Amino acid sequence: MLDQVKLEIDEYGLVRTNIPVFSDIELRAALVTFVKRTWDYRKTYLQKELKVAFDGYSYLGQEDSLNQYSFDQLHSFVISDLLPYSSFPKEFHTFLLQEWEPMVQFLTGLQELLLRKFNIEHLKGELRNNMGYMASCNYYPSLSDKKIKGQRLSTHRDVSFFTVFPFGLDRGLVMQKDGQKQNVGVMERVFAFPGYMAEVMTEGKIKALDHYVEESKRPNKERFSFAFFSIPRPEAVINFPKGEMDGKDYYKQYLSLF
Ligand SMILES: [Fe+2]
């Protein structure tokens, strides 16, 4: 499948492919069903309960999430292969048991093409041996009855080496670079961009893409996004240009950006 792939990098570092998007039906249903469960159920899956990397639930308004601010307008659930599937709520089990493994195979193949495209193929072995995958499943509810203004998700760069959107994307994502910004728009092909780890591993030759989700122009409309990240396993010791660091220390370095 990946033999015919074409990749194009734009001036922001966003990589557009010609790969048709995968279906998000299963994962979207899992996320919606989970968010509608009782608070007593949801709270047992908070990040402080799962305790590994960024895995777990962050709710709209939460003060102590690792991956969103209290004023961001979403619920998110991070699933990964850093924990056994049974650690996650049952709503996600069908996806994890049936779709996770083929997705990871696809992402691993795509990552190798991305490494070649960015001329950093020498990092392939280091990444293969030390990286896992996580998926940030994001649900931005309709805002019809609230007067919430401003960005739906604040400007940030990702913790990933590469972030991939295998399901494409609804409108709202904006990229930023050198004071310029550009709407990504609706994406009907798989696309990707570099995260902070790519920047650190290449000593800034590749820049992490800064991005945010803009204020909704259609507040009655809910929004979903599913971003897949390659990230170091917590215990893996990685050869960064400035010395060895394990996954957990890398997460700390990343979180100190905020
Ligand atoms: Fe992001």
Please write the tens of the pLDDT for every residue from 10-36. 999 999 999 999 999 999 999 999 999
Residues having C-beta closer than 5 Å to ion ligand 1: 158
Q: Residue 145: what pLDDT?
A: 54
pLDDT of amino acid 220: 76
Once rounded to an integer, what is the mean pLDDT over residues 230-247?
96
- Give the pLDDT confidence of 92-137 residue by residue, as tens digits: 999 999 999 999 999 999 999 999 999 999 999 999 999 999 999 9
Q: Is 109 exposed, middle or buried (0-12, 13-18, 19+ CB in 10 A)?
A: middle
For residue 89, report the distance from its CA to the centre of ligand 1, in Å. Answer: 23
Place 154 in a pLDDT band, splitting at 50, 70 and 90: confident
CA–centroid distance, residue 12 to ligand 1 (Å): 14
Distance from residue 130's CA to the centre of ligand 1 (Å): 21
Closest to 219 (Cα-Cα) out of 164, 153, 130, 143: 143
CATH number assigned to the domain comprising residue 207: 2.60.120.330
Expressed in angstroms and rounded, the spacing between residue 44 Cα and the centre of ligand 1 is 25
- Residue 130 CA to residue 120 CA, distance in Å, equals 16
The count of structural domains within the chain is: 1
State the distance from the centre of ligand 1 to the C-alpha of 128, rounded, in angstroms.
22
Query: Separation of 195 CA from ligand 1 center, angstroms?
Result: 8
Residue 222 phi, psi dihedral angles, 5° rounding: -80, 165
- Res 217: pLDDT: 78
> For residue 108, how far is its CA from the centre of ligand 1 (angstroms)?
19
The predicted model gives 218-241 an average pLDDT of 93
- Separation of 161 CA from ligand 1 center, angstroms? 12
Q: Which domain holds residue 133?
A: 2-255
Q: How far is the CA of 21 from the centre of ligand 1 (A)?
A: 19
